[in-house]
Amino acid sequence: MALMKNLILLMTASLSLGGAALADTTWKFAPDFLTPPPGKETIGNSHGEIAVDSAGHIYVSVQDKDAGIQVYGADGKFIKALPLPNSLHGFVIRKNEDGEFIYAAVLNEQRVIKCKLDGSVVLEIPTSAFPPDKIAAEKDKKLHLTNCDVAPNGDIYVVDGYGLSWIFVFDNAGKFKQVFGGPVEPWKLSNCHKLFIDPRFDPVRLLLCDRGNNRILHVSLEGEIIGVFADKDLRHPSSASFYKDLVCVAEIAGRVSVWDKEGKLVAALGTNDTKGQTNTPTVAPPDWREGVVTSPHGITFDANGNILETEWNRFGRVLRWNRQ
């Protein structure tokens, strides 16, 4: 019975469309891989991101008091919590010649921080560093920063995804350089929830999860539109991560998807079509179903192509699919 169940999960997770070898990759759901912190039944209120460092440690942002970022081993066992702000809506882990760092957008404080993997902050981009004419006046003149990423030259890209979707560029010292995107032509972004440096191309480019328009957009690092990567059959893309020529996407309306470099769908994982169970943080643990998502909000590949996804959920939920 257990074997049949795993076979069904594997079959429903994979939607092979042929082509390159990676397009034939499948993923198998790994139940109960993560052990919550001691004394907790779940990880806690999650509305953020998940990432993996070069040592294979898993980082999950949690909004509970004193939670910050929880760190787990590759085996899913809790290690520690970093003393960081509890509204890290979006973050990435990037490595350069100086070491490995967390770059994070702190939603409730409207600032960007760069910190070491032990949580010590080494750079801050405060609210005052952002151009005042691009702050959403109708929202009490506050930024609503949702994510950031770092280009190969060290420039930091930040998106005002819960504001007017402007994309701000700072140098590696936190000095403002330029702004583009937003709700105006030609971008016409709407709830551009998260952005990422897409390393699959030369030169690298930005991949935008333009959630309000239900599309994924490619633009150059200077802000020029390259093209629409995907805009068909999406479920409101919220986050993305890259592995070789693949990108996995967290879709908050009930799916995790995998796409090849040409924008073809490779796999659909955890699809949830139950009314009232997607795009909401209120689905309680008794209603969770094995291998079925609710509201995917953050996502990452690890170094082996396994997929880890964190959900917008007030109890806190992380799912994993292992690459076969």
pLDDT tens, residue by residue, 45-103 = 999 999 999 999 999 999 988 778 999 999 999 999 999 999 999 999 999 999 999 99
Q: How many CB atoms lie within 10 A of CB 109?
A: 16
Show the tokens assigned to 205. 């480019």
* Best CA proximity match to 148, nearest among 139, 157, 161, 160: 157
What's the token pair of residue 13?
Answer: 């997770």
pLDDT for residue 244 = 97
Looking up residue 265, the CATH number of its domain turns out to be: 2.120.10.30
Cβ contact 43:54 at 8 Å:
no
Is the CA virtual torsion 189, 195, 198, 199 positive or negative? positive
Tally of domains within the chain: 1
Give me the pLDDT at residue 203, please. Answer: 97
Q: Which residues pair with 90 in a beta bridge?
A: 105
Render pLDDT for 169-202 as a digit per residue (tens, 0 to 9). 999 999 999 999 999 999 999 999 999 999 999 9
Is the bond preceding 186 in cis, omega lying within 30 degrees of 0?
yes
The pLDDT profile of the chain, 324 residues, written as one tens digit per residue, is: 443 344 334 434 444 333 345 667 899 999 999 999 999 999 999 999 999 999 999 999 999 887 789 999 999 999 999 999 999 999 999 999 999 999 999 999 999 999 999 999 999 999 999 998 887 665 555 789 999 999 999 999 999 999 999 999 999 999 999 999 999 999 999 999 999 999 999 999 999 999 999 999 999 999 999 999 999 989 999 999 999 999 999 999 999 999 999 999 999 999 999 999 999 999 999 999 999 999 999 999 999 999 999 999 999 999 999 999
Burial of 12 by CB count in 10 Å (0-12 exposed, 13-18 middle, 19+ buried)?
middle
Asked whether the whole model's pTM tops 0.85, one would answer: yes
Cis? peptide before 203, omega within 30° of 0: yes
Q: 3-state DSSP call for residue 123? A: strand
For 209, the 3-state DSSP assignment is strand
Q: Which range marks the domain in which residue 245 is found?
A: 2-323
Tokens of 131: 């151009």
